[in-house]
Structure 1
Amino acid sequence: MNLAEFHFIRPYWLLAVLPYLAILVLMLRNKLSQGNWSAVCDAALLPYLLQEKAVNQSRWPVTAGAIAALLAIIALAGPTWERLPSPVFRNDSALVIALDLSRSMDAVDIKPSRLIMARYKIADILKQRKDGQTALLVYAGDAFTVTPLTDDTETIDSQLSALNTDIMPSQGSNTASAFEKAVELFKQAGLQKGRILLVTDGVDMDKALPAVKTLDKYQLSILGVGTDDGAPIALPEGGFLKDERGNIVVPKLNSSDLEKLAQAGNGVYQTITVNDADIQTVLASMDRSIQQQGKQNDNLLLDQWADKGPWLLLLALPLAALTFRKGLLCFALLLILPLPKNSYALGWQDLWQTLDQQAQQAYKKQDYAKAAEQFGNPDWKAAAQYKAGEYDKALESLKSSKSASGAYNQGNALAKAGQLEEAIKAYEKALAINPNDADAKYNKDVVEKELEKQKKQDQQKKDDKQQSKGDSEKNKEGEQSEKSDEQKQSEQKPEQKPEQKQSDQQQSEEKQQDKAEEKKPEDQKSQQAEQSKDDAKKQDKQQAPVKAEPTDEQQQANEQWLKRIPDDPAGLLKRKFKYQYGQRGRQESGDTGGW
């Protein structure tokens, strides 16, 4: 025990001694006043009336309680004199995965293809990354960021399926640009050290070796994809990729060059395998580097002190037990208990997770209604309400948002609610804030086309309605003219023979029967016109732009319309990379002849 280092970790708890001593003095004074028989009895008679032994015994619980309370207060103050060794090192390693998306990755010398196999391996690496930060970039003629450094590996894994060689704006195998982009990601995160994993099927050593020397403190490991025999590159339109001379290109894996490049980057090289041996070798090398870094930081200690207060509580417990029968212990607890707070209904999950965390779990389980109730963040709440089909509530949650993403989400909610014109205005607002929002442009075009289509359908229904109405009026005029002709003929021939009259009557009945048969299609036309009129009314109701609570039919129609919007993350990445490539103003170039 080093008394020179003795101190209290929480010294302000010692202030509790003052109110406790004051209460203890009041209790003793009250007890003495209750036992002061000298004020009412002669002093000569007191020795015969009082039992001195019982009085002395009754003071023990008070004394024991006072000592126990004092020990408890000192324990809460946290007495200490011993320093605990606590290393500063924490595993916050950073890994940037650089995936080659040049055309040669479409070769099928390994099944199903080089690129698909590389994506499988990256997914396996992400599953085994328990801690640390990870980023993903792709490169061909130039390098682009898919996801920056993050500890959320699930986000990176969700992007892998959208990666293909067609999303790159320029072809080639510009390894130097991949190194440059990786270093940029490290510096953006404020990291001076990190590891780079290059997943590729070949490099140009004349340009890659000078570039790897600029990595400095960043370790480079390489995972080679392909075989030494190689395979031709199939084109989407058929045939195989050819060089300038018309020869079929057969890219081969040069393992020796990749191994030299990895050694220059202080890392390891491993050719891709059908099992996990390749990624285990690469990850083991990274783990050794992390452990070495941890040993170097073991001599850096924090000022963490061993709290000796719990040992004093062990001494206070038996003393507190003596006071329990007298009720003094319950009174002493009142001194250290905090003031009462408002009570709320508390569930089991509330003890371990916040409402936003519970809402996030409900969102992942697709219980969007519950998530919308629990989310406190308005953007998250709006996202859950959108998924739950509560578009009006989602719009209400997004009212306060003034960002481009907020306006974009408002447009999506309005489109789902069938308010197409308002949705277009929301997309225009998002584009006014961020003119380069490709998603807003795409959705705006789709909604505008759908709105134009609906207008044409409404006009066509109106024209059909007018045409059917005109046809029914013409039919009525023809019937009236036929009736007037018959009346004239009967007036001109008032006297007829019985035979002729009977034949005329028979002809009249046949004519009326013919007329009845002729009126049947007319009645059908009028019924069809009425039916089309009712259908038009129903359709207009379904297409009404403002509706507080959309009907099930309208909801189903909106969902069917939204299903027409293609979910194309690869297309979004392609437009994003193309825009970034144009902003950089670089000319298309590559290190390996365009593949």
Structure 2
Amino acid sequence: MGGGAVMIRFGNPDAFFPLMLLPAAVLLLWLMLARRKAMLSRYASSAVLNALMPNYSQGWARVRVTVLFITVALAVLAAARPQWGYEDRRIRSRGVDLIVAVDTSLSMLAQDFKPNRLARAKELLQNILWAAQGERVGVVAFAGDAFVMSPLTMDIRMASMALESINPGTVPVQGTSILAAVQAAVRAFETAGKGERVMVLLTDGENQDGQLDAALTAAKAASISVYTIGIGTSEGMPIPLSDGSYKQDAQGGTVNSKLDFLTLTRLADGTGGKAVRANATGNAEIEPILAQLRSRKAKDQTEMTMRVYTERFQWFLGPAIGLLAFEMLMTGAMRRRRSGPGQVVA
């Protein structure tokens, strides 16, 4: 367990964004309360208001706003996953750095896989991520361009969340550029130092930028073994759009998206990887990939120390739940004290 000065870190700092909105929300609520008080004062004196509405309390209204403010602030702090204290654990790593890349182009919405190709793609890649415990893993999303959604990390949960967040709008530039995906993987590998580099790329293979040779060259220059998973059928399927219609070509005909497995085979064979076809269900198709990943461990297995920080979110979540329960109980008690139709409770 770590000693010395207590240093606080946050596992999910993005959760702090809602705190930026809280001051404005509190100010708005206080202004509304002040306006309500001013409006009531125009029609009756304080003594008359107290007689007509004995259960109305301006003070309780302010307390209620303050309690809700503190509750939300504590909940946000809990969501940010505060951590202090740590434990150093010795773990055995196979020394393989793994990037999974998923195609997010519109063709991945084709429904020859249920509910669509993209959903099935994420399911398969999630299984690969969780089978890579002890490895560094990262996530790339690509279409006409590519982005690193999660840099290489040993935090499988973080990489899994990044993968799950991917949707057809993640990459705004449409198309399918396998070269862009490989280049993004190269950038991710270069920032993480040395290690055996493996990339699992899942797409329907319709490489629209025509730069497969450039993708091969880039992968080989960076010593990346590319394993490809082809998703789709040779017969093809139309691509559904959000308005219920189907994507059309320049001549007005319906676009039929087909699996181009030859492209994926060339990429895998040219980089020392393996190409497989996705099945509609199960995980049998990824087993050859997992087997080859496991076979690499003999020469690259290393032992390393991993620092695991202690989660403290419960210290903030517990009080937040308690304050919320207090507010609900007090509000209920105030309402039960009503003794007539003319009495109002804030």
- Measured against the shorter chain, the TM-score band is 0.5 to 0.7
| Aligned with residue 245 of structure 1, among 229, 242, 251 | 251
Aligned-CA RMSD value = 2.8
Q: SS at 1:241's partner residue?
A: coil
The count of aligned residue pairs is: 232
| Aligned with residue 238 of structure 2, among 209, 220, 232 | 232
Closer, same or farther in 2 for the Cα pair 1:136/1:391, shift >3 Å?
A: farther
2: CA distance, partners of 1:225 / 1:355: 37
Other-structure match for 1:141: 144
Other-structure match for 1:261: 267
Closer, same or farther in 2 for the Cα pair 1:117/1:287, shift >3 Å?
A: same
Does the 8 Å contact 1:226/1:253 carry over to 2? yes
Does the 8 Å contact 2:216/2:270 carry over to 1? yes
| Aligned with residue 290 of structure 2, among 283, 286, 292 | 283
* Offset from partner CA, 1:131-177 (integer Å, 9 cap, x none): 11100110112111211111111222234443211232221112211
Indicate the structure (1 or 2) with the bigger Cα radius of gyration.
1
Closer, same or farther in 2 for the Cα pair 1:205/1:270, shift >3 Å?
A: farther
2: CA distance, partners of 1:154 / 1:248: 40
Shift of 1:218: 1.3
Please tell me the residue identity of whatever aligns with 2:135. G
Please tell me the residue identity of whatever aligns with 1:276. N
Other-structure match for 1:421: none
Say if 2:161 is the partner of 1:158: yes
Shift of 1:130: 2.2
* Offset from partner CA, 1:328-348 (integer Å, 9 cap, x none): xxxxxxxxxxxxxxxxxxxxx
* Offset from partner CA, 1:538-595 (integer Å, 9 cap, x none): 43xxxxxxxxxxxxxxxxxxxxxxxxxxxxxxxxxxxxxxxxxxxxxxxxxxxxxxxx
Stretches of structure 2 that go unaligned for 5 or more consecutive residues are 1-91, 328-339
| Aligned with residue 389 of structure 1, among 314, 320, 334 | 320
Shift of 1:219: 0.9
Shift of 1:100: 0.4
2: CA distance, partners of 1:253 / 1:205: 16
Once the two structures are superposed, the pairs formed by residues 346-361 of structure 1 within 5 Å of their partners are 357=310, 360=311
Please tell me the residue identity of whatever aligns with 1:389. A
1: CA distance, partners of 2:300 / 2:169: 40
Other-structure match for 2:228: 222
Does the 8 Å contact 1:110/1:227 carry over to 2? no
Shift of 1:230: 1.1
Shift of 1:386: 5.0
Closer, same or farther in 2 for the Cα pair 1:154/1:175, shift >3 Å?
A: same
Which has the larger strand fraction? Answer: 2
Q: TM-score, normalised by structure 1?
A: 0.36
Q: SS at 1:166's partner residue?
A: coil
Does the 8 Å contact 2:212/2:263 carry over to 1? no
Say if 2:197 is the partner of 1:190: no
| Aligned with residue 96 of structure 2, among 72, 93, 113 | 93
Which has the larger helix fraction? Answer: 1
| Aligned with residue 123 of structure 1, among 118, 123, 126 | 126
Does the 8 Å contact 2:146/2:171 carry over to 1? no
Please tell me the residue identity of whatever aligns with 1:260. R
Runs of 4+ in 1 over 6 A off after TM superposition: none
Shift of 1:90: 5.0
Does the 8 Å contact 1:213/1:264 carry over to 2? no
Closer, same or farther in 2 for the Cα pair 1:355/1:166, shift >3 Å?
A: closer
Q: TM-score, normalised by structure 2?
A: 0.61
| Percent of paired sites with the same residue | 27
Shift of 1:241: 0.6
Q: SS at 1:149's partner residue?
A: strand
* Offset from partner CA, 1:443-500 (integer Å, 9 cap, x none): xxxxxxxxxxxxxxxxxxxxxxxxxxxxxxxxxxxxxxxxxxxxxxxxxxxxxxxxxx
Q: SS at 1:264's partner residue?
A: helix
Other-structure match for 2:22: none
Stretches of structure 1 that go unaligned for 5 or more consecutive residues are 1-88, 298-353, 373-384, 393-416, 418-526, 540-595
Please tell me the residue identity of whatever aligns with 1:211. A
